[in-house]
Homo-oligomer: A and B are copies of this chain.
Amino acid sequence: MSSGRGKAAGAPRATLLSIGSEILLGEIVDTNAAYLAAELAQLGVDLRRVEQVPDHLHAISAAFEAGLAAGDLVLATGGLGPTHDDLTRDGLARALGETLTQDADLAAELTTRFGGMGRMPVSNLRQAMLIPSAMPIPNPIGSAPGWWVDLDRHVLALMPGVPSEMRQMWTDQVVPRLRRRFHLTSLLFRTVKTFGLGESAVAERAGDLLTAPDDGLQAGIYARDDGVHLRFSSWQDRSRLDAAVDRARRLLGDDVYGTDDETLPAVALAALGRAGARSLSTVEHGTDGALLAILSGHTAQDGQARFAGGVLSMSEEDDGIPRAADAVLTVHLSSAAALGYSRVSVALSAPNGGFDDRRLRIHGSGPQRLRRAAFAALDQVRRIDGAAR
């Protein structure tokens, strides 16, 4: 939940359409919508509606008409491929009362891409169709170009449904055009990350920093696998944001492990580095390898102990053999009990110190429970700093 959601003054109102029958059949999860929704929030666009639309001409053109009636901007992903059920171009042409014709430049580019006319399935020429008011947006990593349509009072942007193609087109080409067209200023934000306290405890300690933030600031609280985060945002004021972060740090003390892009693996491996360890291996039980997955995903940085790999044991006895590293972190997660929480025990051996068998409790179920156990272990490691001082 977030306690205040400011809008930039005069923010354009947007509709987002995800086009494809696969989505309505539940065959794929529409991750594009969540990605673009987060991007739009940060850009200062007021996203009013998201709709998933099947590959039917009437449904697509009706969705475009509704989007145009509802606001200033319509974004759409999907339905730009070469097959007969890729109908986004046709649906928008119909909604705008314009006619599709083949664009000679686009047709030539497509033919080159396929290595000559004879090699390209003729259906691909669908991707060279354009309406008079549309400008093509190049797609360097796929065959479907996007469309940019500026109708004076309304703007539309069509992007491919393949997430990698969509994200590259969005970042490199659509965002800069939207910034210019709507004079957008990005939302500034900063995050304070805690581990070891529940969401309500963090909210209580943060007090009016969360419930009544300063003018021009918004504050939100988010329970994530890697702890409870406080996020402050503002449309204009960097210094107030920094002041809010400083105050949150003071109020939350040792339970803050970092801000912004700092992560638990990074701060834990840095604490180990300061404690004289050059490398870390891990032994885990009951976690399905969650600690290995989290540490593998971390990119090593100077001053941090290096992650050297680890062992997952499936038996209750700890028969794992730690690898050649000078620090070893051991995590045992108990099998799930009907207590509302699970027990985790964590131990660390390290050149200058370490600790035996700390018992912790974590909440959650499913994969979240496994990841929380791993993050709880890393949180214990990063706290050796304070103990050594």
Residues of A within 8 A of B (CB): 1-2, 5, 21-31, 33-41, 47-54, 59, 83, 164, 222, 288-289, 292-293, 296-297, 306-315, 319-321, 323-324, 365
Chain B residues with Cβ under 8 A from A36's Cβ?
A: 26
Partner of A297, one of B40, B288, B308: B288
Partner of A292, one of B51, B312, B324: B312
Chain B residues with Cβ under 8 A from A164's Cβ?
A: 365
Q: Which residue of B lies closest to A285 (CB)?
A: B309
User: Is the Cβ of A26 less than 8 Å from the Cβ of B34?
Assistant: yes
Given known pairs A296-B288, A315-B308, A323-B313, the reply for A50 and B23 (CB within 8 Å) is yes
**A189 to B22 CA separation, bound complex (whole angstroms):** 17
Q: Which residue of B lies closest to A290 (CB)?
A: B293
User: Is the Cβ of B41 less than 8 Å from the Cβ of A48?
Assistant: no
Given known pairs A296-B289, A312-B292, A312-B296, the reply for A50 and B48 (CB within 8 Å) is no
User: Is the Cβ of A292 less than 8 Å from the Cβ of B296?
Assistant: no
**A24 to B50 CA separation, bound complex (whole angstroms):** 7
28 examples of A-B residue contacts, CB within 8 angstroms: A2-B25, A2-B27, A5-B21, A24-B50, A26-B37, A26-B38, A26-B41, A28-B34, A29-B31, A29-B34, A30-B30, A33-B52, A48-B59, A49-B51, A50-B52, A288-B293, A288-B296, A289-B289, A289-B292, A289-B296, A289-B312, A292-B292, A292-B312, A309-B315, A311-B323, A312-B312, A319-B323, A319-B324
User: Is the Cβ of B59 less than 8 Å from the Cβ of A37?
Assistant: no
Chain B residues with Cβ under 8 A from A83's Cβ?
A: 1
Chain B residues with Cβ under 8 A from A311's Cβ?
A: 309-312, 323
Chain B residues with Cβ under 8 A from A23's Cβ?
A: 34, 37, 50
Q: Which residue of B lies closest to A21 (CB)?
A: B5
**A195 to B25 CA separation, bound complex (whole angstroms):** 24
Chain B residues with Cβ under 8 A from A35's Cβ?
A: 26
Q: Which residue of B lies closest to A52 (CB)?
A: B50
**A41 to B59 CA separation, bound complex (whole angstroms):** 18
Chain B residues with Cβ under 8 A from A48's Cβ?
A: 24, 54, 59
Given known pairs A312-B296, A312-B310, A313-B309, the reply for A38 and B27 (CB within 8 Å) is yes
**A288 to B48 CA separation, bound complex (whole angstroms):** 39
In this complex, which of A27, A306, A313, A324 has the most chain B Cβ atoms within 10 angstroms of its Cβ? Answer: A27
User: Is the Cβ of A51 less than 8 Å from the Cβ of B54?
Assistant: no
User: Is the Cβ of B25 less than 8 Å from the Cβ of A38?
Assistant: yes
**A357 to B67 CA separation, bound complex (whole angstroms):** 56
Chain B residues with Cβ under 8 A from A297's Cβ?
A: 288
Chain B residues with Cβ under 8 A from A47's Cβ?
A: 24-25
Closest 4 CB pairs of A and B: A26-B38, A26-B37, A288-B296, A50-B52
**A64 to B52 CA separation, bound complex (whole angstroms):** 16
Q: Which residue of B lies closest to A63 (CB)?
A: B49
**A324 to B314 CA separation, bound complex (whole angstroms):** 11
**A288 to B321 CA separation, bound complex (whole angstroms):** 19
Chain B residues with Cβ under 8 A from A50's Cβ?
A: 23-24, 51-52
Chain B residues with Cβ under 8 A from A27's Cβ?
A: 2, 38, 222
**In whole Å, how far is A198's beta carbon from the nearest beta carbon of chain B?**
17
Given known pairs A51-B51, A54-B48, the reply for A34 and B40 (CB within 8 Å) is no
**In whole Å, how far is A349's beta carbon from the nearest beta carbon of chain B?**
18
**In whole Å, how far is A260's beta carbon from the nearest beta carbon of chain B?**
17
User: Is the Cβ of A59 less than 8 Å from the Cβ of B52?
Assistant: no
Chain B residues with Cβ under 8 A from A320's Cβ?
A: 309, 323
User: Is the Cβ of B25 less than 8 Å from the Cβ of A37?
Assistant: yes
User: Is the Cβ of B314 less than 8 Å from the Cβ of A307?
Assistant: yes
